[in-house]
Amino acid sequence: MSLEVKSFEVYGFKIEVHAGGRRVWPPSFKRFINGKMDNGELSVREIMKTCNVSQSLVYKWRADVKRDDGGRPSDCKERMFSEIAIEAPQDLEPTPSGGNQIVLRGREVKISLPSTYPIDNLVTVILSLEGRT
One domain for residues 89 and 44: no
What's residue 74's pLDDT?
Answer: 45
| Cβ neighbours, 10 Å, residue 10 | 16
CA distance 127 to 133: 5
Q: Which residue has the higher pLDDT, 51 or 93?
A: 51
CA distance 101 to 121: 15
Range of the domain at 15: 6-68
The pLDDT tens digits for 65-86 are 888 766 555 444 445 555 555 5
CA distance 62 to 130: 26
Share of the chain above pLDDT 70, in %: 68
Measuring CA to CA, which residue among 88, 81, 83, 84 is closest to residue 120?
Answer: 88
What's residue 2's pLDDT?
Answer: 54
Mean pLDDT, to the nearest integer, of 94-123?
Answer: 74
One domain for residues 62 and 116: no
One domain for residues 63 and 14: yes
pTM over 0.85: no
CB 127 within 8 A of CB 89: no
One domain for residues 53 and 97: no
